[in-house]
Chain A
Amino acid sequence: MRGPGAGRATRLLRFVRYEFNDAGGPGMRLYAAVALSGFRRYATYRVATAAGVFTNTVFGFIVAYTYIALWNARPHLGGYDRAQALTFVWISQALLAASALMGGGFEDELQERIRSGDVAVDLYRPADLQLWWLANDLGRACFQLLGRGVVPLAVGALAFELALPADPLTWLAFLLSVLLGVLVGFGMRYVVGLAAFWLLDGAGLTLLSSLLGTFLSGMLLPLTVFPGAFGDVARLLPWSALLQVPADVLLGRYHGAGLIRALVFQAGWAVVVLGLGRMVQAVATRKVVVQGG
Protein backbone atom coordinates (compact mmCIF):
# COMPACT_ATOMS: atom_id res chain seq x y z
CA MET A 1 0.00 0.00 0.00
CA ARG A 2 1.18 3.46 -0.83
CA GLY A 3 0.36 5.87 1.94
CA PRO A 4 2.15 6.76 5.10
CA GLY A 5 5.62 5.34 4.56
CA ALA A 6 6.79 2.32 6.49
CA GLY A 7 9.60 4.41 7.94
CA ARG A 8 7.17 6.88 9.37
CA ALA A 9 5.13 4.09 10.94
CA THR A 10 8.21 2.65 12.60
CA ARG A 11 9.16 6.06 13.93
CA LEU A 12 5.67 6.48 15.30
CA LEU A 13 5.80 3.08 16.96
CA ARG A 14 9.15 3.88 18.52
CA PHE A 15 7.67 7.12 19.73
CA VAL A 16 4.72 5.29 21.27
CA ARG A 17 7.05 2.92 23.13
CA TYR A 18 9.11 5.84 24.33
CA GLU A 19 6.05 7.60 25.66
CA PHE A 20 4.85 4.46 27.37
CA ASN A 21 8.12 3.70 29.12
CA ASP A 22 8.90 7.24 30.00
CA ALA A 23 5.68 8.73 31.22
CA GLY A 24 3.75 5.60 32.09
CA GLY A 25 0.85 6.75 29.91
CA PRO A 26 0.16 8.45 26.63
CA GLY A 27 0.74 12.19 26.52
CA MET A 28 -0.53 14.92 24.30
CA ARG A 29 2.56 14.49 22.15
CA LEU A 30 1.43 11.02 21.15
CA TYR A 31 -1.96 12.23 19.96
CA ALA A 32 -0.32 15.17 18.20
CA ALA A 33 1.85 12.67 16.32
CA VAL A 34 -1.22 10.61 15.40
CA ALA A 35 -3.02 13.75 14.19
CA LEU A 36 -0.01 14.75 12.13
CA SER A 37 0.13 11.32 10.52
CA GLY A 38 -3.60 11.59 9.75
CA PHE A 39 -2.92 14.93 8.07
CA ARG A 40 0.03 13.56 6.09
CA ARG A 41 -1.79 10.44 5.04
CA TYR A 42 -4.41 12.48 3.18
CA ALA A 43 -1.87 15.06 1.98
CA THR A 44 -0.02 12.22 0.20
CA TYR A 45 -2.75 11.77 -2.41
CA ARG A 46 -2.43 15.01 -4.34
CA VAL A 47 -4.21 13.84 -7.50
CA ALA A 48 -7.11 12.49 -5.44
CA THR A 49 -7.35 15.85 -3.66
CA ALA A 50 -7.38 17.73 -6.96
CA ALA A 51 -10.06 15.33 -8.25
CA GLY A 52 -12.16 15.97 -5.15
CA VAL A 53 -11.81 19.74 -5.50
CA PHE A 54 -12.92 19.50 -9.13
CA THR A 55 -16.01 17.46 -8.21
CA ASN A 56 -16.93 19.74 -5.28
CA THR A 57 -16.65 22.74 -7.59
CA VAL A 58 -18.81 21.20 -10.32
CA PHE A 59 -21.49 20.31 -7.76
CA GLY A 60 -21.22 23.82 -6.31
CA PHE A 61 -22.09 25.32 -9.70
CA ILE A 62 -25.03 22.96 -10.28
CA VAL A 63 -26.57 23.57 -6.85
CA ALA A 64 -25.85 27.32 -7.04
CA TYR A 65 -27.99 27.69 -10.19
CA THR A 66 -30.89 25.79 -8.61
CA TYR A 67 -30.70 28.07 -5.55
CA ILE A 68 -30.64 31.17 -7.76
CA ALA A 69 -33.92 30.02 -9.35
CA LEU A 70 -35.42 29.26 -5.94
CA TRP A 71 -34.37 32.53 -4.32
CA ASN A 72 -35.38 34.56 -7.40
CA ALA A 73 -38.87 33.15 -6.98
CA ARG A 74 -38.86 33.51 -3.19
CA PRO A 75 -36.44 36.23 -2.02
CA HIS A 76 -35.59 35.91 1.71
CA LEU A 77 -36.60 32.24 1.79
CA GLY A 78 -35.38 30.71 5.06
CA GLY A 79 -34.17 34.13 6.18
CA TYR A 80 -31.39 34.26 3.56
CA ASP A 81 -31.05 36.71 0.71
CA ARG A 82 -29.70 35.42 -2.59
CA ALA A 83 -26.03 36.11 -1.81
CA GLN A 84 -26.36 34.35 1.56
CA ALA A 85 -28.05 31.33 -0.03
CA LEU A 86 -25.23 31.09 -2.58
CA THR A 87 -22.67 31.41 0.22
CA PHE A 88 -24.41 28.49 1.93
CA VAL A 89 -23.93 26.38 -1.22
CA TRP A 90 -20.19 27.00 -1.38
CA ILE A 91 -19.67 26.56 2.37
CA SER A 92 -21.39 23.18 2.14
CA GLN A 93 -19.10 22.14 -0.73
CA ALA A 94 -16.07 23.45 1.19
CA LEU A 95 -17.00 21.50 4.34
CA LEU A 96 -18.24 18.35 2.57
CA ALA A 97 -14.92 16.50 2.93
CA ALA A 98 -13.58 18.16 6.10
CA SER A 99 -16.72 17.59 8.17
CA ALA A 100 -17.41 14.27 6.39
CA LEU A 101 -21.00 15.35 5.77
CA MET A 102 -21.74 12.24 3.71
CA GLY A 103 -19.80 10.00 6.09
CA GLY A 104 -16.45 8.43 5.45
CA GLY A 105 -13.06 9.27 6.82
CA PHE A 106 -12.38 6.38 9.13
CA GLU A 107 -15.42 4.31 10.14
CA ASP A 108 -14.92 1.76 7.35
CA GLU A 109 -11.34 1.28 8.46
CA LEU A 110 -12.32 0.90 12.11
CA GLN A 111 -15.02 -1.61 11.17
CA GLU A 112 -12.55 -3.57 9.07
CA ARG A 113 -10.10 -3.71 11.99
CA ILE A 114 -12.87 -4.91 14.28
CA ARG A 115 -13.99 -7.52 11.77
CA SER A 116 -10.47 -8.82 11.17
CA GLY A 117 -9.59 -8.78 14.87
CA ASP A 118 -6.78 -6.24 14.36
CA VAL A 119 -8.54 -4.01 16.86
CA ALA A 120 -7.08 -6.26 19.57
CA VAL A 121 -3.67 -4.83 18.64
CA ASP A 122 -5.09 -1.31 18.86
CA LEU A 123 -6.45 -2.03 22.32
CA TYR A 124 -3.03 -3.28 23.44
CA ARG A 125 -1.51 0.07 22.56
CA PRO A 126 -0.81 2.41 25.44
CA ALA A 127 -3.31 4.86 23.96
CA ASP A 128 -7.04 5.31 24.27
CA LEU A 129 -8.88 3.90 21.24
CA GLN A 130 -11.31 6.82 20.95
CA LEU A 131 -8.66 9.52 21.39
CA TRP A 132 -6.41 7.75 18.90
CA TRP A 133 -9.08 7.78 16.18
CA LEU A 134 -10.15 11.30 17.15
CA ALA A 135 -6.60 12.60 16.75
CA ASN A 136 -6.36 10.80 13.43
CA ASP A 137 -9.69 12.25 12.27
CA LEU A 138 -8.79 15.79 13.36
CA GLY A 139 -5.61 15.53 11.28
CA ARG A 140 -7.68 14.39 8.29
CA ALA A 141 -10.25 17.15 8.77
CA CYS A 142 -7.53 19.77 9.07
CA PHE A 143 -5.98 18.71 5.76
CA GLN A 144 -9.32 18.45 3.98
CA LEU A 145 -10.41 21.88 5.19
CA LEU A 146 -7.28 23.35 3.62
CA GLY A 147 -6.89 21.00 0.67
CA ARG A 148 -10.51 20.57 -0.34
CA GLY A 149 -12.24 23.55 1.28
CA VAL A 150 -10.35 26.65 0.25
CA VAL A 151 -10.38 26.28 -3.54
CA PRO A 152 -14.12 25.55 -4.02
CA LEU A 153 -15.03 28.48 -1.76
CA ALA A 154 -12.62 30.77 -3.66
CA VAL A 155 -14.02 29.66 -7.04
CA GLY A 156 -17.54 30.24 -5.74
CA ALA A 157 -16.59 33.72 -4.54
CA LEU A 158 -15.11 34.54 -7.96
CA ALA A 159 -18.05 33.20 -9.97
CA PHE A 160 -20.93 34.47 -7.82
CA GLU A 161 -21.69 37.36 -5.53
CA LEU A 162 -21.30 35.83 -2.07
CA ALA A 163 -21.97 37.25 1.40
CA LEU A 164 -18.61 36.49 3.00
CA PRO A 165 -17.78 38.48 6.14
CA ALA A 166 -14.97 41.05 6.25
CA ASP A 167 -14.56 40.79 10.02
CA PRO A 168 -11.70 38.39 10.95
CA LEU A 169 -13.45 37.61 14.24
CA THR A 170 -16.40 36.13 12.34
CA TRP A 171 -13.98 33.89 10.45
CA LEU A 172 -12.41 32.82 13.75
CA ALA A 173 -15.82 32.02 15.21
CA PHE A 174 -16.56 30.06 12.00
CA LEU A 175 -13.38 27.99 12.38
CA LEU A 176 -14.24 27.25 16.01
CA SER A 177 -17.74 26.25 14.93
CA VAL A 178 -16.30 23.99 12.20
CA LEU A 179 -14.03 22.35 14.79
CA LEU A 180 -17.00 21.69 17.08
CA GLY A 181 -18.90 20.32 14.08
CA VAL A 182 -16.04 17.96 13.26
CA LEU A 183 -16.09 16.75 16.89
CA VAL A 184 -19.82 16.03 16.70
CA GLY A 185 -19.40 14.30 13.33
CA PHE A 186 -16.51 12.22 14.64
CA GLY A 187 -18.49 11.24 17.74
CA MET A 188 -21.38 9.92 15.65
CA ARG A 189 -19.19 8.11 13.14
CA TYR A 190 -17.20 6.52 15.97
CA VAL A 191 -20.36 4.98 17.44
CA VAL A 192 -21.28 3.71 13.96
CA GLY A 193 -17.82 2.23 13.60
CA LEU A 194 -18.00 0.49 17.00
CA ALA A 195 -21.30 -1.12 16.00
CA ALA A 196 -19.14 -3.60 14.08
CA PHE A 197 -18.39 -5.24 17.42
CA TRP A 198 -21.97 -6.51 17.35
CA LEU A 199 -22.89 -6.45 13.65
CA LEU A 200 -20.58 -8.46 11.45
CA ASP A 201 -21.55 -6.31 8.49
CA GLY A 202 -21.77 -2.66 9.46
CA ALA A 203 -22.40 -1.48 5.88
CA GLY A 204 -26.14 -0.97 6.41
CA LEU A 205 -25.64 1.21 9.46
CA THR A 206 -22.87 3.19 7.75
CA LEU A 207 -25.18 3.84 4.81
CA LEU A 208 -28.00 4.95 7.12
CA SER A 209 -25.64 7.26 8.97
CA SER A 210 -24.40 8.81 5.74
CA LEU A 211 -27.99 9.33 4.52
CA LEU A 212 -28.96 11.08 7.76
CA GLY A 213 -25.80 13.18 7.61
CA THR A 214 -26.44 14.23 4.02
CA PHE A 215 -30.04 15.20 4.59
CA LEU A 216 -30.10 16.54 8.16
CA SER A 217 -26.87 18.55 8.02
CA GLY A 218 -28.51 20.85 5.47
CA MET A 219 -26.30 19.80 2.57
CA LEU A 220 -29.19 19.14 0.19
CA LEU A 221 -31.12 22.22 1.32
CA PRO A 222 -30.56 24.59 4.27
CA LEU A 223 -32.47 23.41 7.34
CA THR A 224 -34.01 26.89 7.62
CA VAL A 225 -35.96 26.07 4.43
CA PHE A 226 -37.38 22.81 5.83
CA PRO A 227 -41.10 23.27 6.50
CA GLY A 228 -42.71 23.81 9.90
CA ALA A 229 -42.18 21.47 12.83
CA PHE A 230 -40.01 19.18 10.70
CA GLY A 231 -37.57 22.07 10.26
CA ASP A 232 -37.71 22.96 13.96
CA VAL A 233 -36.81 19.39 14.94
CA ALA A 234 -34.11 19.08 12.26
CA ARG A 235 -32.38 22.21 13.56
CA LEU A 236 -32.17 20.68 17.07
CA LEU A 237 -30.59 17.38 15.97
CA PRO A 238 -26.82 16.80 16.17
CA TRP A 239 -26.40 16.83 12.37
CA SER A 240 -27.27 20.53 12.26
CA ALA A 241 -24.03 21.13 14.19
CA LEU A 242 -22.07 19.83 11.19
CA LEU A 243 -23.04 22.40 8.56
CA GLN A 244 -26.10 24.51 9.40
CA VAL A 245 -24.60 26.12 12.51
CA PRO A 246 -21.10 26.80 11.06
CA ALA A 247 -22.70 28.25 7.91
CA ASP A 248 -24.98 30.52 9.95
CA VAL A 249 -21.98 31.64 12.02
CA LEU A 250 -20.07 32.61 8.86
CA LEU A 251 -23.15 34.33 7.45
CA GLY A 252 -23.17 36.51 10.59
CA ARG A 253 -26.59 35.36 11.74
CA TYR A 254 -25.40 35.06 15.35
CA HIS A 255 -24.10 37.89 17.51
CA GLY A 256 -22.98 38.13 21.14
CA ALA A 257 -25.04 35.86 23.35
CA GLY A 258 -26.65 34.23 20.31
CA LEU A 259 -23.22 33.21 19.01
CA ILE A 260 -22.28 31.77 22.41
CA ARG A 261 -25.57 29.84 22.47
CA ALA A 262 -24.90 28.41 19.01
CA LEU A 263 -21.40 27.27 19.99
CA VAL A 264 -22.67 25.83 23.28
CA PHE A 265 -25.33 23.93 21.30
CA GLN A 266 -22.57 22.33 19.22
CA ALA A 267 -20.32 21.70 22.23
CA GLY A 268 -23.26 20.10 24.07
CA TRP A 269 -23.87 17.65 21.23
CA ALA A 270 -20.12 16.96 21.03
CA VAL A 271 -20.10 16.02 24.73
CA VAL A 272 -23.19 13.82 24.29
CA VAL A 273 -21.98 11.86 21.26
CA LEU A 274 -18.38 11.55 22.48
CA GLY A 275 -19.70 10.36 25.88
CA LEU A 276 -21.94 7.86 24.11
CA GLY A 277 -18.89 6.65 22.19
CA ARG A 278 -17.00 6.11 25.48
CA MET A 279 -19.88 4.11 26.91
CA VAL A 280 -20.19 1.92 23.83
CA GLN A 281 -16.43 1.47 23.80
CA ALA A 282 -16.43 0.40 27.45
CA VAL A 283 -19.17 -2.17 26.85
CA ALA A 284 -17.54 -3.39 23.64
CA THR A 285 -14.09 -3.91 25.10
CA ARG A 286 -15.39 -5.54 28.26
CA LYS A 287 -17.99 -7.90 26.89
CA VAL A 288 -17.13 -8.69 23.32
CA VAL A 289 -14.65 -11.35 22.41
CA VAL A 290 -12.56 -10.24 19.48
CA GLN A 291 -12.32 -12.79 16.74
CA GLY A 292 -9.14 -13.51 14.95
CA GLY A 293 -6.48 -16.09 14.58
Chain B
Amino acid sequence: MADALSRAAEGLRAYGLIVAMWVRSTMAYRASFLMMAAGNFAATALDFVAILIMFSHVRTLGGFSLPEVAFLYGTTSTSFGLADLLLGNMDKVGRRVRDGTLDTLLVRPVPVLAQVAADRFALRRLGRISQGVLLLGWSLMRLDIHWTPVRLLLVPLMLVSGAAIFGAVFVAGAAFQFKADDAAEVQNAFTYGGTTLLQYPPTLFATDLVRGVTFVVPIAFVNWVPALRVLGRENPLGLPPWADFASPLVAVVCCALAGLAWRAGLRSYRSTGS
Protein backbone atom coordinates (compact mmCIF):
# COMPACT_ATOMS: atom_id res chain seq x y z
CA MET B 1 0.00 0.00 0.00
CA ALA B 2 2.72 2.41 1.05
CA ASP B 3 4.63 1.37 -2.05
CA ALA B 4 1.67 2.16 -4.31
CA LEU B 5 1.19 5.52 -2.61
CA SER B 6 4.82 6.50 -3.04
CA ARG B 7 4.66 5.52 -6.71
CA ALA B 8 1.54 7.62 -7.18
CA ALA B 9 3.25 10.56 -5.49
CA GLU B 10 6.27 10.08 -7.71
CA GLY B 11 4.03 10.04 -10.81
CA LEU B 12 2.26 13.21 -9.71
CA ARG B 13 5.58 14.92 -9.08
CA ALA B 14 6.80 13.98 -12.55
CA TYR B 15 3.50 15.15 -14.03
CA GLY B 16 3.90 18.48 -12.27
CA LEU B 17 7.46 18.92 -13.51
CA ILE B 18 6.57 18.16 -17.14
CA VAL B 19 3.51 20.43 -16.96
CA ALA B 20 5.64 23.25 -15.53
CA MET B 21 8.05 22.83 -18.41
CA TRP B 22 5.27 23.10 -20.99
CA VAL B 23 3.77 26.10 -19.24
CA ARG B 24 7.13 27.88 -19.35
CA SER B 25 7.43 26.99 -23.02
CA THR B 26 3.90 28.28 -23.71
CA MET B 27 4.61 31.52 -21.91
CA ALA B 28 7.59 32.19 -24.17
CA TYR B 29 5.01 33.19 -26.79
CA ARG B 30 2.61 35.09 -24.57
CA ALA B 31 0.60 36.80 -27.34
CA SER B 32 0.13 33.50 -29.13
CA PHE B 33 -1.01 31.90 -25.86
CA LEU B 34 -3.54 34.67 -25.17
CA MET B 35 -4.96 34.37 -28.69
CA MET B 36 -5.29 30.60 -28.46
CA ALA B 37 -6.91 30.82 -25.00
CA ALA B 38 -9.37 33.41 -26.34
CA GLY B 39 -10.07 31.11 -29.29
CA ASN B 40 -10.65 28.19 -26.94
CA PHE B 41 -13.05 30.39 -24.95
CA ALA B 42 -14.88 31.47 -28.12
CA ALA B 43 -15.11 27.94 -29.49
CA THR B 44 -17.08 26.77 -26.47
CA ALA B 45 -18.98 30.04 -26.19
CA LEU B 46 -20.41 29.51 -29.69
CA ASP B 47 -22.12 26.34 -28.44
CA PHE B 48 -23.91 28.47 -25.91
CA VAL B 49 -24.75 31.12 -28.51
CA ALA B 50 -26.61 28.35 -30.39
CA ILE B 51 -28.54 27.60 -27.18
CA LEU B 52 -29.29 31.33 -26.77
CA ILE B 53 -30.67 31.40 -30.32
CA MET B 54 -32.86 28.40 -29.44
CA PHE B 55 -34.17 30.26 -26.41
CA SER B 56 -34.91 33.32 -28.55
CA HIS B 57 -37.64 31.14 -30.08
CA VAL B 58 -38.87 29.23 -27.02
CA ARG B 59 -39.29 30.01 -23.31
CA THR B 60 -38.39 26.52 -22.09
CA LEU B 61 -36.60 23.55 -23.60
CA GLY B 62 -37.88 20.22 -22.34
CA GLY B 63 -39.48 22.11 -19.46
CA PHE B 64 -36.17 23.75 -18.42
CA SER B 65 -35.63 27.52 -18.40
CA LEU B 66 -32.54 29.24 -19.81
CA PRO B 67 -30.82 29.69 -16.40
CA GLU B 68 -31.45 26.01 -15.63
CA VAL B 69 -29.90 24.95 -18.96
CA ALA B 70 -27.03 27.38 -18.25
CA PHE B 71 -26.53 25.62 -14.91
CA LEU B 72 -26.27 22.24 -16.66
CA TYR B 73 -24.01 23.79 -19.30
CA GLY B 74 -21.77 25.51 -16.76
CA THR B 75 -21.32 22.42 -14.58
CA THR B 76 -20.46 20.01 -17.40
CA SER B 77 -18.26 22.56 -19.21
CA THR B 78 -16.26 23.22 -16.05
CA SER B 79 -15.85 19.51 -15.27
CA PHE B 80 -15.00 18.62 -18.83
CA GLY B 81 -12.68 21.62 -19.14
CA LEU B 82 -10.73 20.49 -16.05
CA ALA B 83 -10.37 16.95 -17.39
CA ASP B 84 -9.47 18.28 -20.84
CA LEU B 85 -6.81 20.56 -19.35
CA LEU B 86 -5.27 17.84 -17.17
CA LEU B 87 -5.58 14.81 -19.47
CA GLY B 88 -6.81 16.09 -22.85
CA ASN B 89 -3.65 15.22 -24.75
CA MET B 90 -4.01 11.53 -24.01
CA ASP B 91 -5.68 11.03 -27.39
CA LYS B 92 -2.19 11.32 -28.90
CA VAL B 93 -1.28 7.84 -27.62
CA GLY B 94 -2.33 6.21 -30.90
CA ARG B 95 0.01 8.43 -32.85
CA ARG B 96 2.88 7.58 -30.48
CA VAL B 97 2.13 3.87 -30.95
CA ARG B 98 2.14 4.35 -34.74
CA ASP B 99 5.38 6.28 -35.02
CA GLY B 100 7.16 4.39 -32.27
CA THR B 101 7.86 7.36 -29.99
CA LEU B 102 6.11 5.59 -27.11
CA ASP B 103 9.31 3.55 -26.71
CA THR B 104 11.13 6.68 -25.57
CA LEU B 105 8.62 7.10 -22.74
CA LEU B 106 8.98 3.47 -21.67
CA VAL B 107 12.69 3.74 -20.93
CA ARG B 108 12.36 6.82 -18.73
CA PRO B 109 12.10 6.20 -14.98
CA VAL B 110 8.72 7.95 -14.79
CA PRO B 111 5.24 6.38 -15.04
CA VAL B 112 4.13 6.38 -18.70
CA LEU B 113 0.66 7.64 -17.75
CA ALA B 114 2.16 10.77 -16.17
CA GLN B 115 4.34 11.41 -19.22
CA VAL B 116 1.55 10.94 -21.74
CA ALA B 117 -0.92 13.01 -19.72
CA ALA B 118 1.49 15.93 -19.33
CA ASP B 119 2.81 15.82 -22.89
CA ARG B 120 2.24 19.12 -24.72
CA PHE B 121 0.16 20.37 -21.78
CA ALA B 122 -2.19 22.95 -23.31
CA LEU B 123 -2.72 25.82 -20.90
CA ARG B 124 -5.02 27.49 -23.51
CA ARG B 125 -7.73 25.07 -22.33
CA LEU B 126 -8.25 27.41 -19.39
CA GLY B 127 -10.43 29.19 -21.97
CA ARG B 128 -13.06 26.45 -21.81
CA ILE B 129 -12.96 26.27 -18.01
CA SER B 130 -13.37 30.02 -17.62
CA GLN B 131 -16.31 30.00 -20.02
CA GLY B 132 -17.95 27.21 -18.00
CA VAL B 133 -17.30 28.94 -14.68
CA LEU B 134 -18.68 32.26 -15.96
CA LEU B 135 -21.90 30.63 -17.15
CA LEU B 136 -22.21 28.65 -13.94
CA GLY B 137 -21.85 31.90 -11.96
CA TRP B 138 -24.42 33.64 -14.15
CA SER B 139 -26.91 30.79 -13.78
CA LEU B 140 -26.47 30.71 -9.98
CA MET B 141 -27.29 34.42 -9.84
CA ARG B 142 -30.37 34.02 -12.01
CA LEU B 143 -31.72 30.80 -10.49
CA ASP B 144 -34.06 30.96 -7.54
CA ILE B 145 -32.68 27.98 -5.66
CA HIS B 146 -33.68 27.28 -2.08
CA TRP B 147 -30.14 26.74 -0.79
CA THR B 148 -29.66 24.13 1.89
CA PRO B 149 -26.21 23.01 3.15
CA VAL B 150 -26.67 19.77 1.20
CA ARG B 151 -27.36 21.53 -2.09
CA LEU B 152 -24.51 23.95 -1.46
CA LEU B 153 -22.15 21.02 -0.95
CA LEU B 154 -23.40 19.21 -4.05
CA VAL B 155 -22.14 21.89 -6.49
CA PRO B 156 -18.37 21.63 -5.80
CA LEU B 157 -18.77 17.88 -5.27
CA MET B 158 -20.24 17.40 -8.74
CA LEU B 159 -17.62 19.60 -10.39
CA VAL B 160 -14.75 17.55 -8.95
CA SER B 161 -16.44 14.17 -9.46
CA GLY B 162 -17.44 15.18 -12.98
CA ALA B 163 -13.86 16.08 -13.84
CA ALA B 164 -12.73 12.70 -12.49
CA ILE B 165 -15.37 10.83 -14.52
CA PHE B 166 -14.38 12.64 -17.74
CA GLY B 167 -10.72 12.04 -16.82
CA ALA B 168 -11.46 8.31 -16.56
CA VAL B 169 -13.03 8.46 -20.03
CA PHE B 170 -9.87 10.11 -21.41
CA VAL B 171 -7.64 7.44 -19.84
CA ALA B 172 -9.88 4.58 -20.99
CA GLY B 173 -9.98 6.06 -24.50
CA ALA B 174 -6.18 6.28 -24.53
CA ALA B 175 -5.95 2.65 -23.36
CA PHE B 176 -8.25 1.64 -26.23
CA GLN B 177 -5.76 3.19 -28.67
CA PHE B 178 -3.24 0.47 -27.79
CA LYS B 179 -5.71 -1.91 -29.44
CA ALA B 180 -6.79 0.38 -32.29
CA ASP B 181 -4.18 3.07 -32.86
CA ASP B 182 -6.26 4.88 -35.51
CA ALA B 183 -9.42 5.08 -33.45
CA ALA B 184 -8.69 8.28 -31.53
CA GLU B 185 -11.95 9.76 -32.76
CA VAL B 186 -14.11 7.17 -30.97
CA GLN B 187 -13.41 8.80 -27.63
CA ASN B 188 -14.62 12.15 -28.98
CA ALA B 189 -18.10 10.62 -29.01
CA PHE B 190 -17.85 10.12 -25.24
CA THR B 191 -15.86 13.23 -24.31
CA TYR B 192 -17.10 16.05 -26.57
CA GLY B 193 -20.31 14.12 -27.29
CA GLY B 194 -20.79 13.51 -23.57
CA THR B 195 -20.40 17.13 -22.57
CA THR B 196 -22.70 18.24 -25.41
CA LEU B 197 -25.34 15.77 -24.19
CA LEU B 198 -25.05 16.94 -20.59
CA GLN B 199 -25.51 20.61 -21.60
CA TYR B 200 -29.16 19.84 -22.30
CA PRO B 201 -31.85 18.66 -19.88
CA PRO B 202 -32.26 14.87 -19.68
CA THR B 203 -35.98 15.31 -20.43
CA LEU B 204 -35.13 15.92 -24.11
CA PHE B 205 -33.67 12.49 -24.69
CA ALA B 206 -35.08 9.01 -25.16
CA THR B 207 -35.29 7.07 -21.87
CA ASP B 208 -33.00 4.34 -23.23
CA LEU B 209 -30.31 6.91 -23.97
CA VAL B 210 -30.61 8.35 -20.45
CA ARG B 211 -30.43 4.79 -19.04
CA GLY B 212 -27.33 4.11 -21.13
CA VAL B 213 -25.44 7.15 -19.85
CA THR B 214 -26.56 6.39 -16.28
CA PHE B 215 -25.79 2.69 -16.00
CA VAL B 216 -23.42 1.77 -18.86
CA VAL B 217 -21.15 4.80 -19.43
CA PRO B 218 -22.15 6.64 -16.26
CA ILE B 219 -21.50 10.21 -17.40
CA ALA B 220 -24.98 11.16 -16.15
CA PHE B 221 -23.30 11.41 -12.73
CA VAL B 222 -21.13 14.29 -13.99
CA ASN B 223 -24.04 16.68 -13.57
CA TRP B 224 -27.48 15.37 -14.53
CA VAL B 225 -28.17 13.26 -11.42
CA PRO B 226 -26.84 15.69 -8.77
CA ALA B 227 -27.92 18.80 -10.69
CA LEU B 228 -31.55 17.69 -10.77
CA ARG B 229 -31.46 17.56 -6.96
CA VAL B 230 -29.97 21.07 -6.78
CA LEU B 231 -32.61 22.35 -9.20
CA GLY B 232 -35.31 20.57 -7.19
CA ARG B 233 -36.47 18.37 -10.06
CA GLU B 234 -37.47 14.74 -10.34
CA ASN B 235 -35.00 12.26 -11.76
CA PRO B 236 -36.53 10.91 -15.00
CA LEU B 237 -35.35 7.36 -14.18
CA GLY B 238 -36.77 7.52 -10.64
CA LEU B 239 -33.40 6.83 -9.03
CA PRO B 240 -33.41 6.61 -5.21
CA PRO B 241 -32.47 9.85 -3.37
CA TRP B 242 -29.06 8.54 -2.28
CA ALA B 243 -28.04 8.29 -5.96
CA ASP B 244 -27.85 12.10 -6.02
CA PHE B 245 -24.76 11.81 -3.82
CA ALA B 246 -23.25 8.84 -5.66
CA SER B 247 -21.12 10.91 -8.06
CA PRO B 248 -17.86 10.66 -6.03
CA LEU B 249 -18.32 6.91 -5.69
CA VAL B 250 -19.02 6.54 -9.43
CA ALA B 251 -15.95 8.66 -10.13
CA VAL B 252 -13.72 6.45 -7.97
CA VAL B 253 -15.01 3.28 -9.64
CA CYS B 254 -14.57 4.81 -13.12
CA CYS B 255 -11.01 5.90 -12.33
CA ALA B 256 -10.15 2.43 -10.99
CA LEU B 257 -11.56 0.73 -14.09
CA ALA B 258 -9.79 3.20 -16.38
CA GLY B 259 -6.53 2.57 -14.49
CA LEU B 260 -6.91 -1.19 -14.99
CA ALA B 261 -7.68 -0.65 -18.70
CA TRP B 262 -4.59 1.53 -19.02
CA ARG B 263 -2.39 -1.14 -17.39
CA ALA B 264 -3.82 -3.84 -19.63
CA GLY B 265 -3.31 -1.64 -22.70
CA LEU B 266 0.26 -0.75 -21.80
CA ARG B 267 1.13 -4.41 -21.11
CA SER B 268 -0.25 -5.45 -24.49
CA TYR B 269 1.89 -2.84 -26.26
CA ARG B 270 4.25 -4.15 -28.90
CA SER B 271 6.65 -1.66 -30.39
CA THR B 272 6.52 -1.09 -34.13
CA GLY B 273 10.24 -1.72 -34.07
CA SER B 274 10.92 0.90 -36.67
Contacts and interface: CB of A to CB of B under 8 A. Distances in A.
Interface of A: 1-2, 45-48, 50-52, 54-55, 58-59, 61-63, 65-66, 68-70, 73-74, 77, 201, 203-204, 207-208, 211, 214-215, 220-221, 225-227
A16 B58 CA distance: 59
Interface string B22-45: 000000010010011001001100
B189 A70 contact: no
Interface of B: 29, 32, 35-36, 39, 42-43, 46-47, 49-50, 53-54, 56-58, 60-62, 98-99, 180-186, 188-189, 193, 196-197, 200, 204-206, 209
Contacts of A201: 29, 32
Given A2-B98, A47-B183, A55-B186, 16 more contacts: A45-B182, A48-B182, A48-B184, A48-B185, A51-B182, A61-B209, A65-B205, A66-B54, A70-B57, A73-B58, A203-B32, A208-B39, A211-B43, A214-B43, A215-B50, A220-B47
A65 B39 contact: no
B56 A227 contact: yes
B140 to A, nearest CB: 23
B18 to A, nearest CB: 21
Given A48-B185, A65-B205, A204 B35 contact: yes
A62 B50 contact: no
Given A65-B204, A204-B36, A221-B50, A59 B189 contact: yes
Q: Tell me the dominant secondary structure on chain A's binding face.
A: helix
A45 to B, nearest CB: 5
B210 to A, nearest CB: 10
B123 to A, nearest CB: 14
Contacts, number: 98
Contacts of B43: 207, 211, 214
A55 B193 contact: yes
Nearest to B62: A69
Contacts of B50: 215, 220-221
B61 A69 contact: yes
Contacts of B197: 62
Given A59-B193, A211-B39, A226 B53 contact: yes
Contacts of B57: 70, 73-74, 77, 225
Given A66-B204, A221-B50, A58 B189 contact: yes
A220 to B, nearest CB: 4
Given A47-B183, A207-B39, A225-B53, A54 B46 contact: no
A58 B58 CA distance: 25
B188 A55 contact: yes
A226 B35 CA distance: 27
Contacts of A65: 200, 204-206, 209
Contacts of A204: 32, 35-36, 39
A224 to B, nearest CB: 11
Contacts of A74: 57-58
